[in-house]
C-alpha cells in the first residue's frame, strides 16, 4: 500500500501541472503513468514514469499512448524497435501494444525521442488487430 500512497502524492502534484506541451504522433515522452492495479503497466522510480509513444492526439489535453519496456519482445502484443534517445543515444525498447490507453497531457515530463515511420506503422497495424475478430 505504501507505493499507492507515494503515487497518490505524485498524482496530486501532476494534477496541478498547467503547462501545455505540443505532442505529435511518433513522439516518445517520459510520462507519469502511476502505480496501477493487477497486470496494468505501471511507472518506475520516484515519479512512477516510463516512456510512451504518442499514437494520436485526441484533444488539447488528451492523447492515446502506448507504454514502452526495455524487455525485448516481438509478437502480436509487442513490437521491438530502436530509436535515438536524446540522453542515452541508441535505445532498444518494445512497445506494449496490449497496454494502449488514453492519457492526460499533464502526465508528460519530457520528450526523449521519435520512433521511425516504419516501426510506427507496424505498431498501428498491430493495434488495429486488438479490435478485430
Read off the pLDDT of residues 62-98 as tens digits, 9 standing for 90 and up. 999 999 999 999 999 999 999 998 888 899 999 999 9
Distances (CA, A) of 109 to 28, 52, 56, 101, 114: 11, 11, 17, 17, 15
pLDDT at 133: 65
pLDDT at 20: 76
Residue whose C-alpha cell reads 501494444 in the numeric block: 97
Instruction: Tell me the residue ranges of DSSP E strands in the chain.
Output: 27-32, 49-57, 62-69, 78-85, 89-96, 101-104, 108-114
pLDDT at 36: 81
d(CA 117, CA 124): 10
If you average pLDDT over every residue of the chain, what do you get? 91
Lowest-confidence pick of 33-37, 64-68, 94-98, 106-110: 33-37
User: Which one has a higher pLDDT value, 30 or 13?
Assistant: 30
Residue 51 has pLDDT above 70, yes or no: yes
Q: What is the mean pLDDT of residues 114-130?
A: 97
Q: Which domains does the chain have, with CATH numbers?
A: 2-129 (2.30.30.110)
Q: Which of 132, 122, 133 is nearest to 55 (CA)?
A: 122
Amino acid at each position: 500500500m505504501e507505493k499507492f500512497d507515494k503515487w497518490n502524492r505524485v498524482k496530486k502534484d501532476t494534477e496541478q501541472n498547467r503547462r501545455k506541451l505540443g505532442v505529435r504522433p511518433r513522439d516518445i515522452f517520459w510520462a507519469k503513468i502511476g502505480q496501477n492495479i493487477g497486470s496494468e503497466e505501471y511507472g518506475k522510480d520516484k515519479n512512477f514514469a516510463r516512456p510512451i509513444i504518442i499514437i494520436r492526439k485526441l484533444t488539447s489535453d488528451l492523447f492515446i499512448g502506448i507504454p514502452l519496456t526495455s524487455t525485448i519482445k516481438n509478437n502480436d502484443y509487442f513490437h521491438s524497435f530502436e530509436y535515438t534517445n536524446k540522453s542515452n543515444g541508441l535505445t532498444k525498447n518494445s512497445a506494449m501494444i496490449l497496454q494502449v490507453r488514453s492519457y492526460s497531457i499533464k502526465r508528460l515530463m519530457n520528450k526523449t525521442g521519435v520512433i521511425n515511420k516504419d516501426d510506427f506503422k507496424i505498431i498501428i497495424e498491430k493495434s488495429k488487430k486488438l479490435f478485430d475478430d
